[in-house]
Amino acid sequence: MKILVPVKRVVDYNVKIRVKSDGTGVETNGVKMSMNPFDEIAVEEAVRLKEAGKASEIIAVSMGVAACAETIRTALAMGADRGILVETDVELQPLAVAKMLKVLVEKEQPGMVILGKQAIDDDMNATGQMLAALLGWSQGTFASKIVLEDGRAVVTREVDGGLETVALALPTIVTADLRLNEPRYASLPNIMKARKKPIETIKPADLGVDPTPRRTLVSVAEPPKRQAGVKVKSVAELVEKLKTEAKVI
């Protein structure tokens, strides 16, 4: 069984982002970019399934500017076998990404697609569910465990009150939550090896998809800032203030 893993290039999670002064977006020029952390977890899970003999080949896909090839290289260094870059300068939104992934899935015929549950830039949490819908496949979102057995995927999901386990017909879509695994660091030999692994570059038009956004960004603003309050000297003073000043207890 092949596994397809889409990976997104985003502003590194350690970067404190800055809203552009003209309110047109968030500054990404000269900012460190990395693979979306949830996508690293997705790649790791695919590699572990391959190491366990449950998967035959891992294909990493990224979409966006030419530099997304670096993100694919990271996935290849972690253990993916080959990459596909859908190159475009158009801003991509989940619906367009899901439509392009659908065409790639129909071509590559994977038994499973594993995605990060959400990207840490637009925080949409949508692409996996949307791809499942377009393909008519089952979906196991926010996964903390994946077991392949009897031709099904048994997925444990992080839900509001705890955990839920579902069984899914294959092929299926799984989206990775934080506790699914701890992604490995690529070793130097593997980084070198990844340089020789193939990356195919195509355009949205090759997939027959018009990626024009359906949603326009009107403006981006800083969130309202909270002011620091006062320091109290004792627990007694704290409780007193909460009772008489804040009136919340």
Residues 160-199 that bind other proteins (CB under 8 A): 160-169, 178-179
User: Is residue 84 a contact residue for other proteins (CB under 8 A)?
Assistant: no
User: Is residue 90 a contact residue for other proteins (CB under 8 A)?
Assistant: no
Residues 6+ apart with CB under 8 A from 242: 248, 249
Strand, coil or helix: 68: helix
Residues 99-158 that bind other proteins (CB under 8 A): 120-134, 136-142, 144, 154, 157-158
- Name the residue type at position 15: V
- Shortest separation between residue 165's beta carbon and other proteins, angstroms: 4
Residues 33-62 that bind other proteins (CB under 8 A): none
Task: Examine residue 37 and say whether the peptide bond preceding it is cis (omega within 30 degrees of 0).
Answer: no
Distances, alpha carbon 131 to alpha carbons 96, 170, 223, 239, in Å: 10, 14, 31, 51
Residues 208-237 that bind other proteins (CB under 8 A): 213-223, 226, 228-236
User: Is residue 239 a contact residue for other proteins (CB under 8 A)?
Assistant: yes
Strand 152-159 and strand 138-149: pairing? Answer: antiparallel
Residues 3-32 that bind other proteins (CB under 8 A): 11, 16-17, 19, 26
Structure tokens at 193: 């090896």
Instruction: Report the residue number, 77 or 115, with the smaller CB distance to other proteins.
Output: 115
- Shortest separation between residue 59's beta carbon and other proteins, angstroms: 22
User: Is residue 248 a contact residue for other proteins (CB under 8 A)?
Assistant: yes
Residues 88, 98 contacting (CB under 8 angstroms): no
User: Is residue 244 a contact residue for other proteins (CB under 8 A)?
Assistant: no
